[in-house]
Chain A
């Protein structure tokens, strides 16, 4: 009789909580540096502030290290291949695969767009997928991609975006452009070896189209988003 694994517990809520904590810790460290950084206070107060900042930084580093360690042990190695949107719909637990791919891809997309801190919610991605899968045919191509993009934005899959002036976008919404790039990448025809290059290209293309994407998302123009997806998915 073959050995059967017990039902694995759903670790997504724990992962989500740990990532949220890690985001808050990182963000707090930056806020302290920006608020009472060097040169912002006169001499006697600056000495006290410097000592305080050192203590806060040390505490933040210790906490982040602990949180990251636990988070990594829960998240585990990302050894699953990144599938296209069409293939994801064919696998069991499609919602979980979509959410995991969305998390990993959005982190990379946001970094390429110059975002220095952001929280990406895997749980929100899963919720968006389940919601759209219940009402849109999973082979609907551009329409499915557009519906997922709007659902991901509604679910606030990206939160707390910080760019520290390093954003590559001169206009438009970082969240909308990043989610559009994700869907472009998920729809693109690519091999496993091309995943990273395709993700970079999807991001670069979306950055060029930032104004159109942001405008379509702002007025929830799913048809326009589907047209843009259909036009550019083959050019990633």
Chain B
């Protein structure tokens, strides 16, 4: 059994919907309450108050839609990989224009944890992983295991430092947490497509 991170996913707080999650997540009327509920749950869990800029959140949603439309694969065999990639792009858009701000220090998070180090980054990462985990379970009956790298604060430090210069780093960070070795020079190029282009024999 592979090693797993202690990072908590909260698929149970995501709004219920009669539609497949892959469709619901691309509707703002699902995405926004999902994020707001996640903020509330994470805030309770780590003992931290957050404020959310809802106008920013809507703009982030629109940019994410545009990004995934641009990269959407034609080949159905790439769907599963693309789900992971879509989650990575979601994290990129959230971190690039952070819609949430901690208004108090997290009182219930361990001092050396990612949640204590960077509450906003931790929250957005956990949200994207949770949405992805819920969608992957529904579509592919696949369980998402978060890589133990998520428990290493050095990765979070690197994440926080690097996104200041390059927002695309977020996408690589999330792919790493999903157990992939990201293409750090081009983390927002769809991995499958890049692999095929570099090695047409595949």
Residues of A near any B CB (own CB < 8 A) = 168, 190, 194, 197-198, 200-201, 204-205, 207-209, 232, 234-236
User: Smallest distance from the beta carbon of B18 to chain A beta carbons, Å?
Assistant: 8
Bound-state Cα–Cα, A207 to B55, Å: 8
7 interchain pairs, CB-CB under 8 A: A201-B27, A205-B28, A205-B58, A208-B61, A234-B27, A235-B61, A235-B65
A109 to B26, CA, bound (A): 21
Instruction: Assess the A234–B59 pair: CB atoms within 8 A.
Output: no
Give min CB distance, B54 to chain A, whole Å: 7
Residue in A190, A209, A235 with the greatest tally of chain B CB atoms within 10 Å: A235
> 10 closest pairs, A vs B, by CB?
A201-B28, A201-B29, A204-B58, A197-B29, A208-B59, A208-B62, A208-B58, A198-B29, A235-B26, A235-B27
Give bound CA distance, A168 to B55, whole Å: 9
Q: Please, how many angstroms separate the alpha-carbon atoms of A3 and B65 in the complex?
A: 55
* B32 interfacial contact with A, CB 8 Å: yes
Q: Contact: A236 with B58, CB < 8 Å? A: no
Contact present for A204 and B54 (CB under 8 Å): yes
Query: For B55, what are the chain A residues with a Cβ–Cβ distance below 8 Å?
Result: 168, 204, 207-208
Q: How far is the CA of A204 from the CA of B29 in the complex (A)?
A: 10
Which B residues lie within 8 Å of A198 (CB)?
A: 29
- A200 pairs with B29, CB closer than 8 A: yes
Among candidates B29, B33, B54, residue contacting A236 with C-beta atoms closer than 8 Å: B29
Q: A205-B61, A234-B26, A236-B27 are in contact. List 13 more A-B contacts (CB 8 A).
A: A190-B29, A197-B29, A200-B29, A201-B29, A201-B32, A204-B32, A204-B54, A204-B55, A207-B55, A208-B58, A208-B59, A235-B28, A235-B65
Contact A236 B62 (CB under 8 A): no
In the bound complex, CA of A168 to CA of B62 (Å): 17
The docked-state distance in angstroms from the alpha carbon of A207 to that of B28 is 13
A235 to B58, CA, bound (A): 11
Q: How far is the CB of B106 from chain A (nearest CB, A)?
A: 29
